[in-house]
Amino acid sequence: MHKGKISILLLAIMIVTTAQLYQVAYGKYAVGAYNINNIEQTIGLFRGCVDSQAPFIIQLSKGARKYTDKRMLEAVIRTAEEMFPEAVFAVHLDHGDEETCYDCIDSGFYSSVMIDASHDPFDKNIEITKRVVDRAHAKGISVEAELGMLGGVEEDISVDEKHACLTNPDEAVEFMQRTGCDSLAAAIGTSHGAYKFKGQQSLHFEVIEGIRDKVAAAGMKPVPIVMHGSSSVPQSEVERINAAGGKLDPSARGVNEEEYLPAAKLGVTKVNIDTDGRLVWTRVHREFFRDKPTEFDFRPPGKIFMDEYAKFIAHKNGKLGSAGTLPEVRKAAGG
Ligand code: 13P
C-alpha cells in the first residue's frame, strides 16, 4: 500500500500536462512527440530524452493500443518512469476517434488526447471536437484537434495527395473559437509515412505565420501548432535499409530537420515523429540478420536497437531545440 502511494506521488511529479510543456516551449522550441509501441522503443525514448535533457511527449496511437494491449503499454510507461526518474513527459493519444478519446479521458492516464475529425466537413469537425473538448476539460485534459488534411498513410487513415489541403488561417481562428481546443494540428505541407516528398520541398511557413497572426488579431491567446508528418526520412537510413535487402523508394524525402526550429519560433510547439523511428528499427534488424544469418535470438538486435533509438531521439531533440531544457521545464512544472 505504502509503496503504491509513493509511486503515485512520483507519477504526479514526472508526468506533466501537455499544456505545461506548451507553456514553457511556445515560441522558443518544439517538444518531440514520439510514437511508441513496445518495450525497446520505450526504453530508447526515455534514455535518449534523459541523455539529451529534453522533455517529451509519448504518443500512443489506436494501433499501438491494440498491438499488445493498452494496459501493457501503460504498465511499460509506468515502469520506464521508475527507471528514469529524471524524465519529464506527457502522455498523449495520437489520432483518436471520439470513442477512443473518451476511453483515454476516462482512464486517468493521459495528459492529452487528439480528436481527428479532419475528414469530416468543417461544421461536423467542430461539432465532434467540441464534444471531446467539453468532456476532456472537465477532467483537466487538453485536446489537440486537426483542421486541413495531411496526405499520406497513418494506420487506418489514408489520404491521397490530391485530396490533401493546407489549413486556412481564417478557418483556424473560427475553429479554435468554436471548439475551445488547446492546440491545432495544422496541415502545413507535410504528410505521414516514408513517402512524403520527391525532391526538395519546404514547409509552408506562410500558413504557420498566418495562423499565428490571425489568432493574435482576434485577441486570442497564442495557439500551439502541432506538426504531424515530421519525419525527415534520412537518405542514409533508406540506403542502409536497401543495402541490407530492403526495397524502399530511394527518392523518398521527408521534412528538412533544419526547418524544425524556424517553425518552432513561429508557434509549432509539438513535432510528431514516428516513421524515422521505424526506419531505425528496420535498419538495425535488417543489418543484424544480414550479417549474422545463423542468429535467432532477438535480444542482441533488440539491445542494438535500444542504443540506436536513444541516439536517434537525442539527435532529434537537438534539432527541435528541446535538448538541454529539462532543468527549466522541471522548475516550471514545480518538480
Ligand atoms: P511521420 O510519419 O512523419 O513520422 O509522422 C508521424 C505523425 O505525424 C504521427 O501523428
Residues 292-301: tens digit of each pLDDT: 999 999 999 9
Residues with Cβ < 8 Å from 194, sequence gap 6 or more?
231, 233, 238, 248, 249, 252, 254, 275, 278, 279
Nearest CA to ligand 1 atom 5: 229
Q: Are 215 and 223 in contact (CB under 8 A)?
A: yes
Residues 226-240: tens digit of each pLDDT: 999 999 999 999 999
Residues 135-140 have a mean pLDDT of 97
Q: Are 123 and 106 in contact (CB under 8 A)?
A: no
Average pLDDT, the chain: 91
Instruction: Please confirm, yes or no, whether 97 is among the known catalytic residues.
Output: no
Residues 50-78: tens digit of each pLDDT: 999 999 999 999 999 999 999 999 999 99
Query: What distance in Å separates the CA atoms of residue 47 and residue 310, rounded to the nearest whole number?
Result: 6
pLDDT in the model for residue 14:
63
pLDDT in the model for residue 155:
59
Of 274, 278, 279, 319, the one to substitute when testing ligand 1's pocket (max ligand atoms within 8 A of C-beta) is 274
Instruction: Considering the candidates 51, 69, 94, 103, report the single residue annotated as catalytic.
Output: 94
Q: Are 180 and 220 in contact (CB under 8 A)?
A: no
Query: What distance in Å separates the CA atoms of residue 190 and residue 270, rounded to the nearest whole number?
Result: 14
Count of C-beta atoms within a 10 Å radius of residue 232: 21
pLDDT in the model for residue 252:
85
Residue 121 CA, ligand 1 centroid: distance in Å: 23
Query: What distance in Å separates the CA atoms of residue 205 and residue 266, rounded to the nearest whole number?
Result: 8
Count of C-beta atoms within a 10 Å radius of residue 327: 10
Residue 1 CA, ligand 1 centroid: distance in Å: 40
Tell whether the model's pLDDT for residue 9 goes beyond 60. no
Residue 230 CA, ligand 1 centroid: distance in Å: 6
Ligand 1 proximity of 286 Cβ (cutoff 6 Å) = no
Ligand 1 proximity of 48 Cβ (cutoff 6 Å) = no
pLDDT in the model for residue 165:
85
Residue 87 CA, ligand 1 centroid: distance in Å: 23
Query: What distance in Å separates the CA atoms of residue 94 and residue 227, rounded to the nearest whole number?
Result: 12
Residue 184 vs residues 9, 148, 237, 247, 316: alpha-carbon distances, Å? 31, 10, 31, 35, 22
Query: What distance in Å separates the CA atoms of residue 253 and residue 58, rounded to the nearest whole number?
Result: 25
Residues 272-295: tens digit of each pLDDT: 999 999 999 999 999 999 999 999
